[in-house]
Copies of this chain bind each other. A is one copy, B any other.
Amino acid sequence: MADPVQGPIEPGQTIGILGGGQLARMLALAAARLGLKTIVLAPEKDSRPVLGVAWRHLDADYDDKSALKELAAHSAIVTYEFENVPVAAVKYLASRVPVAPGHGPLETTQDRLLEKRFLAGLGIETARFDDVTHAEDLATAGAATGFPAILKTRRGGYDGKGQVKVAAADELAKAWNELGKVPSCLEGFVAFDGEASIVAARGVNGEFAAFDLTENTHRNHILWTSRVPARWNGAMTEKAHDIARRIGAAFDYVGVFAVEFFVVGNKLIVNEIAPRVHNSGHWTLDGAETSQFEQHVRAICGWPLGATRRHSDAEMTNLIGEEVNAWAKLAEEDNAHIHLYGKREARPGRKMAHVTRTWPLGRFPGKPA
């Protein structure tokens, strides 16, 4: 393990980033504002968004040791933009250069079962869940979760991929076959009133800060809108902050992370943890004193965390696939802030851009859905 960072990383130094998508792009732009350079390691096919906004780009796979070495050599600190980077790459880097967040949160959040067990160990409520390693586990798991339930692969799922809904016990075997008989986790279905998330940050000395509770909607399992204020009251925000604080402390986390919740009555049930900046925090670019991207840079560089106050009410909407063609129309809207990711091809389901509409504090139009 490399030595931990001694004192803050200074303007002029370089941040290494694994991954070259829109999150890396927005991290690079935030770093530039603070006088920090960025070097990105990502295979070319994924890295359009960072071309021209990062100082350097290493076009290589995440398991390319010579590229990882080069990344480490240039970087004062390395971070990652998504949780599916190989743990081995992060461990290899960590032997040469400080990495934040470390491989611990990565290992836990890459595996739905480990993630649920981690949360249960902290006494944080999740959906009922059970391990399904072999076909024989299906019946026990079904008894543990009840129905309806969702069978999810332990690893590699995102945006609704790697999961099948199961209405009753007799559908379990079919779902198991459909997912390819890979190690999975059966989760009880949560009949939620709404979905929410918290984007939080933890500094090198355990300093904690979190943005306001965000109310989210999804479409085809992909985040569609994020709104602040959420429709729930301040006590719910405090509960969410408390959960995030405990998660951050348990990981000894450094950087920004997100916790996604199901809201049931006045209960918050954790759905998942993302060890990175998060789509539901994009509104902070236009509605908060500090953006989640600057906050992540501050945290991993050992700077004090920035203020998380909102200066505006806000609603972020993702532009998926061809929806990006609405940019010209959106540019006419008086309160719309457009962010385009520089991707060439508007493939279906691909996050191409987002727009955040803002209003003066307290002037969010109508009650959130």
Contact = CB atoms under 8 A, between A and B. Distances in A.
A312 interface: yes
Interface string A20-49: 000001000100111101100000000000
A339 interface: yes
Interface in A41-78: 51-56
A32 B53 contact: yes
A120 interface: no
A128 to B, nearest CB: 42
B311 A360 contact: yes
A309 to B, nearest CB: 8
Contact of A304 (B34, B38, B54, B331): B331
A290 B333 CA distance: 12
Q: How many A residues touch the partner, as a band?
A: 35 or more
How many copies of this chain?
Answer: 2
A340 B33 contact: yes
B11 A327 contact: yes
A6 to B, nearest CB: 14
A252 to B, nearest CB: 22
Contact of A334 (B11, B37, B307, B337): B307
Contacts of A361: 360
Contacts of A25: 32
Contacts of A312: 311
Contact of A8 (B8, B328, B358, B360): B328
Contact of A32 (B29, B38, B353, B358): B29
B335 A307 contact: yes
B35 A340 contact: yes
Contact of A52 (B54, B334, B353, B358): B54
B34 A311 contact: no
Interface string A297-311: 010000110010001
Contact of A35 (B54, B332, B337, B342): B342
A323 interface: no
A341 interface: yes
Interface in A89-114: none
A334 B339 CA distance: 26
A12 interface: yes
Contact of A342 (B32, B327, B334, B338): B32
A52 B34 contact: no
Nearest to A329: B304
A340 B34 contact: yes
Q: What 9 pairs across the A-B complex have the smallest Cβ distances?
A: A35-B340, A52-B55, A11-B340, A303-B331, A304-B332, A32-B53, A311-B311, A307-B334, A311-B312
Interface of A: 8, 11-12, 25, 29, 32-35, 37-38, 51-56, 289-290, 298, 303-304, 307, 311-312, 324, 327-328, 331-332, 334-335, 337-342, 344, 353, 358, 360-361
Given A32-B342, A34-B338, 14 more contacts: A11-B340, A12-B344, A32-B52, A32-B53, A33-B338, A34-B339, A35-B342, A52-B54, A52-B55, A289-B335, A289-B337, A303-B328, A304-B332, A307-B334
21 contacts: A11-B324, A11-B342, A12-B342, A12-B344, A25-B32, A29-B53, A32-B52, A32-B53, A32-B342, A33-B339, A34-B338, A35-B353, A37-B52, A51-B55, A53-B53, A289-B335, A289-B337, A290-B337, A304-B332, A311-B312, A311-B358
